[in-house]
Amino acid sequence: MKNKGIWYAAGAYIIWGLFPIYWKQLESVPALQLLGNRIVWSFLLLFGVVFFTRQFQSFREESSKRHVLGVYSIAAVLIGLNWLTYVWAVNAGYIVETSLGYFINPILSVLLGVIFLRERLRSLQWVPVILATLGVAYLTAIYGRLPWIALTLAFTFGLYGLVKKIAPLGSLHGLTLETGILFLPAVLYLAFVGMNGTGALFNGDIRTNALLIGAGIVTAVPLLMFASAAKRIPLTMIGIMQFIAPTIQFMLGVLVYKEPFSHNQLIGFSIVWLALIIFWLEGFYTSRMTSPEPIPELGEG
């Protein structure tokens, strides 16, 4: 069972890491339309899974409660902003900066836990938090601006994880409800651009249509794989493996798409990477010294 979990997790992170290749094939489609298609086709796929696995009755009962709708509405807005920022940034030539966002995210998530959940950091955990902050400050100085793409991705996904930590539904039902909340606005927007002649769906070639519809599959499948992995392998292993995705994204940005990456940027990224190494070494050591932690449910986009 553990080996199966490792393969599920590795598959999910590799798919997420290769996302830029997929979205680059849709470079001519506006980011808002990419988001709309991603939401619509993801929801239809997830709803199909819920329906055909005979979970619809329980899903309807759980999701009709007011407090559940409130929590997942917040989660839906956060993941929608995350997806929109990501697809825009990839096609605008900022793959390297998107990878920075997901490198920063684990440390930011810990800090959000301190601020909102009153969790306490161990003494050594403050070192990577401070280093990551210094790395972002250094990159801000050399960019001449805040690395807002990276920070937007890190904060939206970090806050999304925080909301999911207190959310009552399981992974499949939760993601189905989130995309369901965004489904109607997405359908209305796609119908509007379709009627005024600017919509890409069904107005382009077969390849573009297939890729837009396939956006639902490439969004939902790794999330479902990750949910399965999270039940089978320890949190520490998930923590180490999650850097597969931003590492692949970073390498794609620099080596495949030839995005500029200067010596000064390397220094800033290296500070963040050092923070991550310390962060996970400390976590790994602590997990060996204490009882196993419960495995949280996470979600990406």
Domain count, the chain: 1
The answer to the question of residue 173 being in a domain is: yes
pLDDT-above-70 percentage for the chain: 92
Residue 293 predicted with pLDDT over 50: no
The answer to the question of residue 150 being in a domain is: yes
pLDDT-above-90 percentage for the chain: 60
Q: Quick one: tokens of 181?
A: 């909340």
Distances (CA, A) of 1 to 7, 11, 221: 10, 15, 19
In whole angstroms, give the CA distance from residue 153 to residue 18: 17
Nearest to 215 by CA among 73, 72, 14, 25: 25
The answer to the question of residue 128 being in a domain is: yes
pLDDT digits (tens, 9 = 90+) for 208-247: 999 999 999 999 899 888 877 767 776 556 666 788 999 9
Residue 94 predicted with pLDDT over 60: yes
Residue 300 predicted with pLDDT over 70: no
Residue 264: predicted pLDDT: 93
Compute the mean pLDDT over every residue in the chain, rounded to the nearest whole number.
88
pLDDT digits (tens, 9 = 90+) for 108-144: 888 888 888 787 888 888 898 899 999 999 999 998 8
Q: Which is higher by pLDDT, 290 or 189?
A: 189
The string of DSSP letters for 52-91 reads HTT-HHHHHHHHTSHHHHHHHHHHHHHHHHHHHHHHHHHH
Q: What is the DSSP letter of 117?
A: S
* Nearby residues of 294 by Cβ (< 8 Å), 6 or more positions away: 235
Average pLDDT over residues 269-297: 74
In whole angstroms, give the CA distance from residue 161 to residue 239: 14
Q: Which is higher by pLDDT, 248 or 5?
A: 248
Q: Quick one: tokens of 232?
A: 């089978």
Nearest to 39 by CA among 163, 212, 196, 167: 212
Distances (CA, A) of 220 to 40, 100, 181, 223: 11, 23, 16, 5
Weakest mean pLDDT among 27-31, 91-95, 199-203? 199-203
Beta strands of the chain (E only): which ranges?
none
Q: Do residues 235 and 287 touch, judged by C-beta distance below 8 A?
A: yes
Q: What is the number of other CB atoms lying within 10 angstroms of the CB of residue 218?
A: 18
Crossing angle, helix 171-195 and helix 56-63, to 10 degrees?
Answer: 80
Residue 298: predicted pLDDT: 42
Q: What is the DSSP letter of 154?
A: H
Q: Quick one: tokens of 292?
A: 């196993």
Residue 2: predicted pLDDT: 57
The answer to the question of residue 298 being in a domain is: no
For the chain, the 3-state helix, strand and coil shares in percent, each to the nearest 5, are: 80, 0, 20
The answer to the question of residue 297 being in a domain is: no
Residue 299: predicted pLDDT: 46
The answer to the question of residue 227 being in a domain is: yes
Q: What is the DSSP letter of 297?
A: P
The answer to the question of residue 234 being in a domain is: yes
Residue 239: predicted pLDDT: 66
| Residue 167: domain span | 2-289
Residue 167: predicted pLDDT: 86
Q: What is the pTM of this model?
A: 0.88
pLDDT digits (tens, 9 = 90+) for 247-280: 999 999 999 999 999 999 999 999 999 998 888 7
pLDDT digits (tens, 9 = 90+) for 28-50: 999 999 999 999 999 999 999 99
Q: Is the dihedral of CA 190, 191, 194, 196 positive or negative?
A: negative
The answer to the question of residue 42 being in a domain is: yes
